[in-house]
Amino acid sequence: MERRIFGLETEYGCMAPEHEGFVSPDAITVKVKDHVFHTDRKGIVDIHYRGRDEPPGNGGFLFNSGRVYIDMGHIEYTTPECKSLFDLVASDRAGERLLQRALRSLGLAKEASFLKNNIDHYTGATFGCHENYLIRRNVPFSMVVIPALLPFLVTRQIYSGAGRVGSYDDSFYYYGKDDVDDAGHEDPVAFQISQRADHIVTEIYQWIQFSRAIINTRDEPLADYNKYRRLHLLMGDSNISEYATALKVGTTAMVLNLLEHRIFPQDVGLGDPVWALKEISRDPTHKWILERKNGRPVSAVDIQRRYLDLAKQHLRGMDEESDWVLVEWENTLDALERDPMDLKDRLDWVAKKWMLEMFVQSEGLEWNDPWLQSLDLEFHNIDPNRGFFLDLEHKGMTRRILSEEQIARAGDEPPADTRARGRSDVIRALSENRMRYIVDWDSVYLENESQLSLLDPFETYRDAAAEFIQEIRYAAPSPRRPMRRRLR
């Protein structure tokens, strides 16, 4: 990939039995978080506030330079900064293994589960998988990035969706649309390709807590502000398929490469991107015909091909990973036009639909049967003994892009070619010394006011980290030298 840093933040749903005496989902998330840091000793906890909603001990950095923490009641795993697409996918899958191992060690795995999905069928709640991409500061964000990126993101769900039984009725947004009744309620939907589409209500917005948008505009680069901006996306689904994760992130990175060179397709602007997001997700014909700003129809596949053609023209041969993305992007679009079911070994929503359709036929069920919602959830279970997708993977029925060795290594080691490498070295040193600290993505502070700046995500900072570690070891208090209480 062309000098691109990316990362994923995944919030995991927790499912637990409601019988008396069993641990609640909220308590399970805390127990697992504590086990990761205090029993497995996979990193160091924050000993300072990271904002009003993250008190000391709420989470921390891992030795692989990612993070685990509690966010709005959910346990969240964040990958380290990655330059390699396959490093990113490996780090993402390593998070699954980390949480499942903790759940099993605590003796909770027989009844409780972590789900890598985005919805709670029983409460209507949704939780996210956030994507982060570093982009150049000199690219006009409002004038170029947002309008040129929106059509791509809206249509990307045809291969990145995780699939969903049923729908969420946001009457506020659906009011006045053609397919709602007089009470403002939408027509029932048996199955749709995206879990998040129903919950996105606007094109752009700054604060994710108040309005879920396709593109989050908060300007928080966590790097050199003069050079970079962080594109924060929260409209995508959590993918449990390695292939789908790689395709989702890889195609988005390729489009950003185009936009940074002011290259983007013309006449693909959509009349209502938010409504189009929902239309694509809910279209049972999988034709995905949309209305452009100029009123003319266009298919989601055709919009994707417009971006793909430009990427093939300008980005082919850039590196091995980029060429993989171009080949698989085209193969996927071809298969979606031919028969989406040909992709049941690669795409989450197709695998889920194929599995559920077989169950509906064998059991003689209607699509509104609550049983199907339970199966929907189990599809995303990260327990290899219980998760339906992982069972398909175990049987060799899914297309893998990683080895088990790659995933295991990503759980213990950071990427070797980003600042995650230097931060990891410092985290390991801090875990071995009684020294108060503040660790963040772009800096590390010690109680003696020493600082390690990590403003360039493309640098490894190995030498600077080595010098900083020597200072940690020199300044660390001994039993005869008490700690100064400088950090609050």
Residues annotated catalytic, as ranges: 71
Contact status, residue 83 vs residue 416, Cβ threshold 8 Å? no
> How many residues are listed for the chain in this entry?
488
Q: What is the 3-state secondary structure (H, E, C) of 365-387?
A: CCCCCHHHHHHHHHHCECCCCCC
Q: What is the 3-state secondary structure (H, E, C) of 118-173?
A: CECCCCCCECCEEEEEEEECCCCHHHHHHHHHHHHHHHCHHHHCCCEECCCCCHHH
| Best CA proximity match to 277, nearest among 234, 341, 218, 336 | 234
Strands (E), 235-279: none
- The CB-based long-range contact list for 481-485 (8 Å cut-off, 24+ gap) reads 483/434, 483/435, 483/436, 483/447, 484/447, 484/448, 485/447
CA distance 328 to 333: 9
Residue 90 three-state SS: helix
CA distance 321 to 10: 23
CA distance 210 to 82: 29
CA distance 408 to 36: 16
Token pair 């959910």 is found at 74
Token pair 């990683």 is found at 402
Instruction: Kindly give, in sequence order, each residue whose CB lies less than 8 Å from that of residue 25, ignoring residues fewer than 6 positions away.
Output: 14, 15, 16, 73, 112
434-455 in b/e burial notation, b at 16+ Cβ within 10 A?
ebbbbbebbebbbbeeeebebb
Residue 24 three-state SS: coil
